[in-house]
Amino acid sequence: MTETVTGLPAASAGSKSEQAYQAVKARIIEGTYTPGYRLVLGSIAKDLGFSVVPVREAIRRLEAEGLVTFERNVGATVAGIDPTEYLYTMQTLSIVEGAATALSAPLIDPAAIARARVVNAEMRECLEHFDPVRFTALNQDFHSVLFEHCPNPHILDLVHRGWNRLAALRSSTFRFVPGRAHDSVDEHEALLQLIESGADADAIEKAARLHRSATLDAYLAQAKNL
């Protein structure tokens, strides 16, 4: 069976344009291609084993998503991270994710709680040999268990938009403030205990909001000291 650059069977990975898009996007989000990195189509195409055409299509998609910028006489480069956009995204996400978690709480069964604890345990193990990219992915998995039961589709859509915006910003805050990761894991357990105990919606929403805003506060404090 033919393997693609993403490691998926060719039959399930989609077109070459889609494969190139996923490969380049992954390298941007993981930090292999850093802000300002020049995306030379020919080099990327050769690396992926494709022609330039699907790579060009992939770069156009990434430009539309804000991950890539195009300048005359320079070409395509990886977009920089806007700290103001990060601030606004985290502030908004703390509000909508807090609401979504509170609304979800009565619908979260013991199996979901157990699943969240397994993810949180993986996050705790990740602290020993810290990998901020993996930790961030696990963090999203954890919170997804808590907010995906939200019965309000409009709030849930706003939460998904917030997480997608963070991905577009390549925001692994834990790369910038790794010490925050330890507190985050402890706060996760406290949040699970609130849900298990049947705490009222206000208490759960407040805890979820403070958990998110504490990460933002840690980031802002670190940035101020630079």
- In the predicted structure, residue 172 carries a pLDDT above the cut 70: no
pLDDT (tens digit per residue) in 103-122: 999 999 999 999 999 999 99
Burial of 100 (0-12, 13-18, 19+ CB in 10 A): buried
Q: Is the pTM of this model over 0.85?
A: no
Contacts of 117 (CB under 8 A, 6+ apart): 189, 192
Residue partners of 199: CB distance under 8 A and separation at least 6: 105
pLDDT on residue 14: 64
> In which band, very low, low, confident or very high, does the pLDDT at 213 lie, cut at 50, 70 and 90?
very high
Dist. CA 74–CA 58, nearest whole Å? 18
Residue 8's pLDDT is what? Answer: 36
CA 47 – CA 23 distance, rounded (Å): 11
